[in-house]
Amino acid sequence: MPRILRPEVLGVVIALLTTACSTSVPPGAPPREAVGVLPADARALRYGSSVPEVFNSPAMGEKVRNLFGKDWSPAPESGALQYSAASYFPPNSSLRLLRIEGRDYIAIMGCVPEACATHPGLVLIQLDGNELWARLDEGGYSRYYGHGPAMTDALVSPAFIDSACRAVERVDRA
């Protein structure tokens, strides 16, 4: 003889099914923003037209070095990067403009020339220059960096930076 579900159990099952499977955006709520690569314009060249110009500009030079701290220059100490952070961004690294969560960033994507497949890097500079984010990959391990007023007592968001990396990589492959 088959068992019939009790009304309270049936009610819980129906409630779970109707709420747990919902993935649509509620009416009136803004849709989730994806990372978008914007058409190139003068904003992407705000601090220079090449990576050396950006990294040596009066507005960005010290900020970039502070972003990476001791990882900027090669160091033989334990726990240091195999390559210096500076070596991840040769002069031919790409400069792009990205929009992430409604804010525009200059994205610099590069890699260590002798290990490009396993050692890519990304620097994100908010257009006003107040926030910098970065990711350096070391053959399967990623290091994340953040610098600026918003970084005080804040964790660097790997998901934020990873989404920017994927967007730039898609454009570079196209």
Q: What pLDDT digit, counting tens, does each position of 98-154 carry? A: 998 888 999 999 999 999 999 999 999 999 999 999 999 998 899 999 887 656 555
Residue 154's pLDDT is: 58
Q: Is the pLDDT of residue 160 over 90?
A: no
The rounded percent of the chain whose pLDDT value lies above 70 is 74
Query: Would you say residue 24 lies in a domain?
Result: no
Cα separation, 88 vs 125, whole angstroms: 16
Residue 117's pLDDT is: 93
- Domain containing 114 equals 33-173
Residues β-bridged to residue 125: 106, 132
Query: Would you say residue 158 lies in a domain?
Result: yes
Query: Would you say residue 71 lies in a domain?
Result: yes
Query: Would you say residue 25 lies in a domain?
Result: no
End-to-end CA distance of the chain: 62
CATH code, 166: 3.40.1420.10
Q: Is the pLDDT of residue 75 over 60?
A: yes
Domain total of the chain: 1
Q: At 147, is the secondary structure helix, strand, or coil?
A: strand
Query: Would you say residue 22 lies in a domain?
Result: no
Ramachandran area for residue 40 (φ above 0: left; ψ -120 to 50: alpha; else beta): beta
CB–CB of 76/60 below 8 Å? Answer: no
Cα separation, 104 vs 35, whole angstroms: 10
